[in-house]
Structure 1
Amino acid sequence: MSKQWASGTNGAFKRQVSSFRETISKQHPIYKPAKGRYWLYVSLACPWAHRTLITRALKGLTSVIGCSVVHWHLDEKGWRFLDMEKQLEDRESFLEHWHDAAGGIKTAKEDSSKSFAAIKNDSQRFMVDATNEPHYGYERISDLYYKSDPQYSARFTVPVLWDLETQTIVNNESSDIIRILNSNAFDEFIDDKFKKTDLVPAQLEAKIDEFNSWVYDSINNGVYKTGFAEKAEVYESEVSNVFEHLDKVEKILGDKYVKLKAKYGEDDRQKILSEFFTVGDQLTEADVRLYTTIIRFDPVYVQHFKCNFTSIRAGYPFIHLWVRNLYWNYDAFRHTTDFEHIKLHYTRSHTRINPLGITPLGPKPDIRPL
């Protein structure tokens, strides 16, 4: 994400294609399910990596698959961890934290709008700015790519799903990783209550895939095509497309709310919200994939990527209700959302867009109460 892109000759944004596309299953000749064998490397700022953290928590895999978090500041060498000296001091604390049964990022803040001025790009706050890399003492995500393939020559993206046994990347495509995590491959290692969670139920799979396809192109990736456009006509076309498709989501959710209100009555908000999702009447992968863009929209994309026709809170009442429902009523969403990482990453790492590196304090609050 972020610097993992290139601009074409027409000034349009081009996203890199992921290189590692293996899966994990009992039938796979190499990558078989096991507790503690696999490790997830993520950025809390990156919406693609955020998908995998949410899915990991929803599926009860926080004690099965460990996790490391890179620093929010993406410099010219890519994503980095904290320095080796600090890593060694905090190894046990680190492992205990990332196998926390709640699956939460304990440092995530509900309101990051107080002050950023004193936070430097080289800040070394353990478990706040980043974690260590506990297995090899690596300083960079790039080290994992070179360990997997010494001839690797593309950009170093997150998320990374890593195999500690073969010491290689299994997969670095977020859409694949969340399907792997959602599969029943790890069911023998999780509590029974999580086995009921299926983010891609068979009866909804076709609808989820169809929804994901246009949401990805026009919203998830659409904000990037807007923000990284290098010609005015490209920007204007892309930003119009983003809001055209937000309008489409708003209508879907608006129609859904009307039906649920008729079903349960206007006053039974709890029952309405228990079925208030984008596809079907249950939480699915479609909600996870859309959420990571919408939760960043008002804090970052409105100002930083110039997606400023309106904000979610001002212009889309049903999307606004939907995103707050996920954030406030589901720990997997709230505990993996770190507004400080999100705001600092975009505004400090994209120097062409924001050369002075000043991080806006608003909107206030980052997310409104439900």
Structure 2
Amino acid sequence: MGHLKDGIWHDEWYDTSKSGGRFERSSAGFRNWITPDGAAGPSGKGGFEAEAGRYHLYVSYACPWAHRTLIFRALKGLEELISVSVVHPDMLSDGWTFAQDFPGTTGDALFGKPFLRDIYTEADPGLSGRVTVPILWDKKRDTIVSNESSEIIRMFNSAFDAITGNTHDFWPLALRDEIETVNARIYDTINNGVYKAGFATTQKAYDAAIAPLFDSLDWLETHLSENRYLMGEQVTEADWRLFTTLIRFDKVYHGHFKCNKRMVKDYPAVWAYTRALYQWPGVRETVNFDHIVRHYYYSHDTINPHRIVPVTPDLDFDAPHGRG
């Protein structure tokens, strides 16, 4: 996971020497919003009107943050409106690339560039920052709209409704405060918690991450034993944000990130809930375990220096979930 400095690529891993061994995630650098009429959103500048065919999404099937956007693209019927490029699962000295020697990769459909970093410098030649997915690109203005997944899914949730007629709302006004509270806990202790455990470089940093992770999984087991979804009977963005971590947990986080106190399948309610979300129409097509397993075990040589890709558990996500 390298970075750009003044537009120049540097192959450097996260530096945990100044944080006591803790992994600290960088903030997204592009925070504009697509809106129905092009008015400015909560951050960034205006001028990004919802239009069919105008926007392009750069993703990795392996990345849980990018996976969120693919799920919302499917749930909201945006496949024909927003095109997609998929990077190679191996993230090595050049970062994410558009190599096409792995099934499911697409190359760069817009510019034919070799590296994801080229998309960032296409928007800003002197950019400094991490080169991450997802990227939401505006083909009309030739720039990046956003690289913040939590905001891209909210754009997809409502900005294109007048075009698609799909008004299913995963961020309903009446539940927003409750969603934000649950999102905050899940992000800190689960979504990002697995990374804080996996990328820790001291025992103290690992211990500080692993305890809250399993405290939250224990809490989820109790909560989901009594509720169909996180907000009760209504599925919301909070469920989909959680899902992208749960679907990866037993395959990669349990072993590769040393999150091995328990597996998701050891929690009856959480495991059934994960299967229920996987079986939601359009969602299983966004899950690519070949990319997921290959990326984590092959790319992170600081964790797995011999790049041995292991056999992972056989899990039946299509088994009946019994959750209605």
TM over 0.5: yes
Equivalent pair of 1:163/1:169 in contact (CA under 8 Å): yes
Identity of aligned residues (%): 44
Q: What residue number does 1:59 align with?
A: 76
Tell me if 1:147 matches 2:122: yes
What's the CA shift string for 1:60-115, capped at 9, x where partnerless? Answer: 111111111000000111111136xxxxxxxxxxxxxxxxxxxxxxxxxxxxxxxx
Structure 1 gaps of 5+ residues are 84-123, 257-275
- Residue 108 (structure 2) aligned to one of 130, 133, 154: 133
Counterpart-to-counterpart distance in 2, 1:78 and 1:152 = 16
Counterpart-to-counterpart distance in 1, 2:97 and 2:81 = 24
Equivalent pair of 1:6/1:15 in contact (CA under 8 Å): no
Tell me if 1:303 matches 2:255: yes
Q: Counterpart of 2:270 in structure 1: which amino acid?
A: I
Counterpart-to-counterpart distance in 2, 1:8 and 1:216 = 24
Counterpart-to-counterpart distance in 1, 2:265 and 2:238 = 21
Q: What residue number does 2:202 align with?
A: 231
Q: What residue number does 1:13 align with?
A: 23
Tell me if 1:22 matches 2:32: yes
What's the CA shift string for 1:337-364, capped at 9, x where partnerless? Answer: 1111110000000001011111121211
What's the CA shift string for 1:314-344, capped at 9, x where partnerless? Answer: 2x1100010001112x133211011111100
Q: What residue number does 1:162 align with?
A: 137
Equivalent pair of 1:13/1:229 in contact (CA under 8 Å): yes
Partner secondary structure for residue 281 of structure 1: coil
- Residue 219 (structure 2) aligned to one of 237, 248, 254: 248
Equivalent pair of 1:222/1:239 in contact (CA under 8 Å): yes
Counterpart-to-counterpart distance in 2, 1:68 and 1:138 = 11
Counterpart-to-counterpart distance in 1, 2:275 and 2:77 = 22
Q: What residue number does 1:44 align with?
A: 61
- Residue 291 (structure 1) aligned to one of 243, 246, 262: 243
Q: Determine which structure has more spread, i.e. the larger CA radius of gyration.
A: 1
Tell me if 1:35 matches 2:52: yes
Partner secondary structure for residue 41 of structure 1: strand
Counterpart-to-counterpart distance in 2, 1:70 and 1:287 = 26
Cα distance change, pair 335–79 in 1 and its aligned pair in 2 (3 A): same
Tell me if 1:78 matches 2:95: yes
Higher helix share: 1
Q: What residue number does 2:274 align with?
A: 323
Equivalent pair of 1:37/1:65 in contact (CA under 8 Å): yes
Cα distance change, pair 63–298 in 1 and its aligned pair in 2 (3 A): same
Q: What displacement does 1:255 show? A: 2.0
Alignment length (residue pairs): 303
Equivalent pair of 1:227/1:235 in contact (CA under 8 Å): yes
Q: So what's the TM-score if we normalise by structure 1?
A: 0.79
What's the CA shift string for 1:253-289, capped at 9, x where partnerless? Answer: 1122xxxxxxxxxxxxxxxxxxx21113111100100
Q: Counterpart of 1:7 in structure 2: which amino acid?
A: T
Tell me if 1:188 matches 2:162: yes
Q: What residue number does 1:264 align with?
A: none
Q: What displacement does 1:157 show? A: 0.5
Q: Counterpart of 1:230 in structure 2: which amino acid?
A: T
Q: What residue number does 2:190 align with?
A: 219
Counterpart-to-counterpart distance in 2, 1:33 and 1:50 = 21
Partner secondary structure for residue 364 of structure 1: coil
Cα distance change, pair 6–208 in 1 and its aligned pair in 2 (3 A): farther
Q: What displacement does 1:141 show? A: 1.0
Counterpart-to-counterpart distance in 2, 1:358 and 1:280 = 41
